[in-house]
Amino acid sequence: MMLVGGMIGLAVAIMMALVRVALGPTAFDRVLAVNSIGTLIILGIALHGFLMGRPEFIDISVLYAILNFIGTFAVLKLFSTGSLGDR
Amino acid sequence: MESLMPILASIFIGLGVISVLIGALGLIRLPDVYSRIHAAGIIDTAGVAFFILGMICLSGWSLVTVKLILIGIFLFFTSPISGHAIARVAHLKGIAPHGRDLTATATKTSNTKKKTAKKKAAKKKTTKTIATKTKGRAS
């Protein structure tokens, strides 16, 4: 019951962050909102593992945390320097 | 002791839902990028910490607990770094904070819509003077 409530709360928060992705005036608002959506998805994957009775889903969650961090930094580097370091 | 843990887990997950919703509401309502980073920080610290504490209460002592703590430590270190990077790149690109005018024009306009329109015009380089001023200010 509480796990279903947590999943519903995470889904509502993801929807509210998607509103910011849709109408963010600058690109940095969108990057920030996508980063927050990634964090919420990490929590959602872990909670889904507990909900389904298979907590091994936590491995996917660890992987997604690393991918979220690297993706944010790749997009920000592309914005700031105009390339990804390959001249 | 065994019946205490699910109650504790539901309390922590409820607090996590509340803080995540507060952070998402701030992400919608706050005026500019620099203040929205604060709202994202609520999601990345309070929401993650409460959810992970709740899930630790659900799983006993096992490998899953270690991985949950690992996720918590990783997000605890990387989310301030990404917030700092977003703020830095936004400042380097000349995004003005709410209520400030980085272009430093002579006429002080209190209307923010005029400012954003001016910034868009400066980015399109239709008015050369403002463009050069923003460039000098941003670098």
Domain ranges of chain A: 2-81
Q: Which chain A residues contact residue B28 at CB under 8 A? A: 16, 19-20
Looking at every residue in chain A, the average pLDDT score rounds to: 90
In angstroms, rounded to a whole number, what is the distance separating the alpha carbons of residues B76 and B125?
41
Buried b (16+ CB within 10 A) or exposed e, A34-65: bbbbbbbbbbbbbbbbbeeeebebbeebbebb
Q: Does the CB of A26 have a partner CB in chain B at under 8 Å?
A: yes
Candidates B64, B95, B112, B139: best to mutate against A (most CBs of A within 10 A) is: B64
Spell out the CATH class of A2-81.
mainly alpha
In angstroms, rounded to a whole number, what is the distance separating the alpha carbons of residues B28 and B25?
5
Q: Which residue has the higher pLDDT, B94 or A10?
A: A10
Q: Does the CB of A63 have a partner CB in chain B at under 8 Å?
A: no
Choose among B62, B70, B82: nearest Cβ to A62. B70
pLDDT in tens, A5-41: 999 999 999 999 999 999 878 889 999 999 999 999 9
**ipTM score of the complex?**
0.90
In angstroms, rounded to a whole number, what is the distance separating the alpha carbons of residues A33 and A4?
24
